[in-house]
Amino acid sequence: MSLVWSREPYSPKRQAMSVDRVVRAAIGIADAEGLDALSMRRVAAEVKSGTTSLYRYVANRDELLDLMVDAVWGEEPPGEVSGDWRADLAEVARAQRSTLLRHGWLGTLMASRPTLGPHSLRRFDATLKAAAALTPDITRAAAVIAMLGDYVLGAVARELAEQEASRRTGMTEQEWRASVAPYLREVIASGDYPEFTRRVVEAGELDFTDQFEFGLRCLLRGVEGAG
């Protein structure tokens, strides 16, 4: 398989600006309507080009997806590593969450394909450098990064699912809670679910950011003591 990153037509000296225009148009479509709406024909229409002409810059849809993934990881270049592994990895996680929330389609692609473009590799290199302050063992460092990424993907997936539910039903979370309140009162009154009742009646509510930060703190504390 020929990778897009290794082929001459994608050298910055040649068609970089044209490729960038195609990629940005594709990202705009995916952000607004999801990956199902993304096709070479649709992107061609967006950039006011014939579909055949588009293939001069991008060989196929899979190649376009690779370019899109790398482009969005380049939106927020990684910061300098401070040497405080806990703070540095926390910032890595927060930056990943920010990017995934801006581009709701990205998580699906991260779970299904490696990202080997220059922006992705630069970010991974910086993350490995941050993890090196925790452990010089590169295998363990890579495992920590993978686990951190899995946590971020899972947390963001839940947040995006709530956004999708609101879009699909036309109800905010608060409106949904109000709609199920009569049923919950019946459940509580039955006495059949005491722990669930405690959760509903006594527990405070964390928003998505607070929940994310709580989980992140727990994960990093666990990593520190792991063998």
Q: Fold identical between 4-73 and 85-225?
A: no
- Specify the 3-state DSSP secondary structure of 9: helix
Residue 16: pLDDT band with limits 50, 70, 90 = very low
- Mean pLDDT over residues 168-187, rounded? 88
Per-residue pLDDT, 13: 47
pLDDT tens sequence across 114-167? 778 999 999 999 999 999 999 999 999 999 999 999 999 999 999 999 888 888
- Please say whether the structural domain 85-225 has been given the CATH code 1.10.357.10: yes
- The closest alpha carbon to 66, from 3, 2, 157, belongs to 3
3-state SS of 46-62? HCCCCHHHHCCCCCCHH
- Specify the 3-state DSSP secondary structure of 107: helix
The residue extents of the domains of the chain are 4-73, 85-225
Instruction: Give the span between the Cα atoms of 143 and 183, in whole angstroms.
Output: 44
Q: Options 1.10.10.60, 2.40.50.140, 3.10.20.30, 3.40.50.300; which CATH number does 4-73 get? A: 1.10.10.60
